[in-house]
């Protein structure tokens, strides 16, 4: 059976070597090297790179040749009609020139079109931001000095409560901008940020509104996450991790027999409470605090018992529902907090790095 003659691909030349009669190939793109298999060579990185550069070079030469032909066909003298130079209108359109000009203009390097206007001043991205900034300031002046009144929009109380103590989400964003950059941001810089956000249809509050907000004084301590899901959870996990298996079984029995009638809660699921100690919710940690003196104290060392005693005194006092004498309440609350922090630091100093222990010190200020 006759074999079909194989065609040598582009950029390869074949020849028969005289000394052994073997067919070898020469790659014209790779310095005329001799190879035995052009298929294997064509998949190599070096050949692929040379092939890509060759195609790019051909494309550049083709583009330059077309541009030279276009320039040869156009007569500059014919571009002058009636004493007016129309050569710019008759010149071939180049999209890349326009893209380069736009990129340079937004980068603030050059003006978009030096001959388009009747002024020598450049207009870059900074000018565009300043124009928007001026528009914002004019709107604020109109609203302040008897301009067109704004329409009153009825706020959704549920939506507003999501961002408490802020009025809305944008006030929170503005406060974060200043809060994280308070050492370097100024009113002028903040106004420019507002101008950029306005282009994105995001309206940040005015500088004066944000500056009136004090992140420490105006943000109350949220006792659910600071207390029950904070240091109470830390101590409950620590207690669970230090119990032996025998002690855990005994604790489950004590919890099952614990009378919850006076607490007005259903019977305790003791096994679930101890088994899933790391994924409990706030009300379950509150139950643990109420039952701790009767169930867990016998498993604790002297230091841990003093710590848990301070904890069991503090937590119910935080969740008190009626305060008859505010001065006396705050005085005793500060005393309980200091006592708890003292025993916590004696038990293990690693808790000193927990932010929620520090937040606890500011709880009396939030109550005032």
pLDDT (0 to 100) of residue 171: 67
Q: Which two tokens stand for residue 272?
A: 């679930």
Specify the higher pLDDT residue, 211 or 18.
Answer: 18
pLDDT (0 to 100) of residue 112: 44
Place of tokens 């050569």: 87
pLDDT (0 to 100) of residue 35: 76
Instruction: Say if residue 12's pLDDT is above 50.
Output: yes
pLDDT band at 314 (very low <50, low <70, confident <90, very high): very high
- Lowest mean pLDDT across 31-40, 99-108, 217-226: 99-108
**What is the C-alpha to C-alpha distance for residues 259 and 337, in angstroms, rounded to an integer?**
29
Instruction: Say if residue 123's pLDDT is above 80.
Output: no
Residues 130-136: contacts with CB under 8 Å, at least 24 apart: 130/192, 130/195, 132/195, 132/196, 132/198, 132/199, 133/191, 133/192, 133/194, 133/195, 135/195, 135/198, 136/191, 136/194, 136/195, 136/198
Q: Which two tokens stand for residue 71?
A: 């320039």
Specify the higher pLDDT residue, 106 or 73.
Answer: 73
Q: Among residues 226, 219, 222, which one has the least CA distance to residue 355?
A: 226
Q: Which residues on adjacent β-strands are paired with residue 16?
A: 23
Residue 26 phi, psi dihedral angles, 5° rounding: -120, 130
Q: What is the DSSP string of 151-201?
A: PPPPPPHHHHHHTTTSSSHHHHHHHHHHHHSTTT--HHHHHHHHHHHHHTT
Residues 18-30, mean pLDDT to the nearest whole number: 79
pLDDT digits (tens, 9 = 90+) for 244-276: 888 888 888 888 888 887 777 778 888 888 888
Q: Among residues 256, 276, 275, 274, which one has the least CA distance to residue 266?
A: 256
pLDDT (0 to 100) of residue 119: 44
Instruction: Say if residue 278's pLDDT is above 60.
Output: yes
With a CB cutoff of 8 Å and minimum separation 6, the contacts of 155 are 168
pLDDT band at 26 (very low <50, low <70, confident <90, very high): confident
- Lowest mean pLDDT across 41-45, 86-90, 198-202, 220-224: 86-90
Number of C-alpha atoms within 13 angstroms, CB side, residue 192?
A: 10
Residues 163-192, mean pLDDT to the nearest whole number: 65
Residue 27 phi, psi dihedral angles, 5° rounding: -95, 120
Residues 169-191, mean pLDDT to the nearest whole number: 65
Cα-trace Rg, the chain: 39
Domain boundaries in the chain?
A: 12-43, 127-145+156-212, 223-367
Alpha-helix residue ranges (DSSP H) falling in 74-124: 87-90, 95-106
Q: Which two tokens stand for residue 266?
A: 């259903």
**What is the C-alpha to C-alpha distance for residues 186 and 272, in angstroms, rounded to an integer?**
54
With a CB cutoff of 8 Å and minimum separation 6, the contacts of 17 are 23, 24
Please give the mean pLDDT across all residues of the chain: 73
Instruction: Say if residue 146's pLDDT is above 60.
Output: no
Contact between residue 200 and residue 235 where contact means Cβ atoms under 8 Å apart: no
pLDDT digits (tens, 9 = 90+) for 73-104: 555 445 444 455 555 555 555 656 665 665 55
């Amino acid at each position: 059976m006759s074999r079909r003659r194989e065609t040598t691909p582009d950029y390869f030349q074949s020849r028969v070597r005289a000394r052994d009669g073997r067919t070898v190939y020469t790659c014209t793109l790779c310095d005329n090297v001799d190879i035995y298999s052009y298929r294997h060579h064509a998949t190599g990185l070096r050949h692929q790179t040379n092939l890509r550069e060759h195609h790019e070079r051909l494309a550049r030469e083709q583009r330059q040749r077309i541009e030279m032909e276009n320039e040869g066909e156009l007569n500059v003298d014919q571009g002058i009609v009636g004493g007016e130079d129309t050569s710019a209108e008759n010149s071939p359109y180049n999209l890349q020139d326009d893209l380069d000009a736009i990129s340079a203009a937004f980068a603030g390097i050059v003006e978009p079109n030096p001959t388009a206007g009747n002024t020598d001043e450049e207009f870059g991205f900074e000018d565009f931001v300043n124009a928007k900034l001026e528009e914002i300031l004019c709107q604020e002046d109109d609203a302040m000095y008897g301009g067109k009144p704004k329409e009153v929009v009825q706020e959704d109380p549920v939506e507003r409560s999501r961002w408490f103590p802020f009025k809305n989400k944008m006030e929170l964003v503005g406060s974060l901008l200043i809060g994280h950059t308070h050492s370097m941001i100024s009113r002028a810089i903040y106004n420019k940020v507002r101008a950029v956000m306005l282009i994105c249809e995001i309206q940040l509050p005015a500088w004066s509104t944000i500056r009136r907000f004090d992140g420490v004084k105006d943000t109350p301590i949220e006792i659910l996450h600071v207390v029950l899901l904070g240091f109470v959870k830390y101590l409950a996990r620590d207690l669970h991790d230090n119990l032996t298996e025998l002690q855990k079984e005994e604790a489950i029995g004590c919890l099952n027999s614990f009378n919850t009638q006076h607490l007005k809660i259903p019977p305790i699921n003791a096994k679930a409470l101890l088994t899933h100690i790391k994924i409990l919710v706030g009300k379950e940690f509150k139950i643990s605090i109420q039952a701790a003196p009767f169930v867990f104290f016998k498993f604790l060392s002297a230091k841990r018992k003093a710590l848990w005693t301070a904890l069991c005194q503090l937590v119910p006092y935080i969740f008190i529902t009626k305060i008859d004498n505010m001065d006396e309440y705050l005085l005793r609350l500060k005393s309980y907090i200091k006592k708890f922090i003292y025993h916590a630091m004696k038990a293990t100093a690693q808790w000193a790095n927990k932010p929620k222990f520090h937040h606890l010190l500011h709880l009396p200020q939030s109550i005032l």
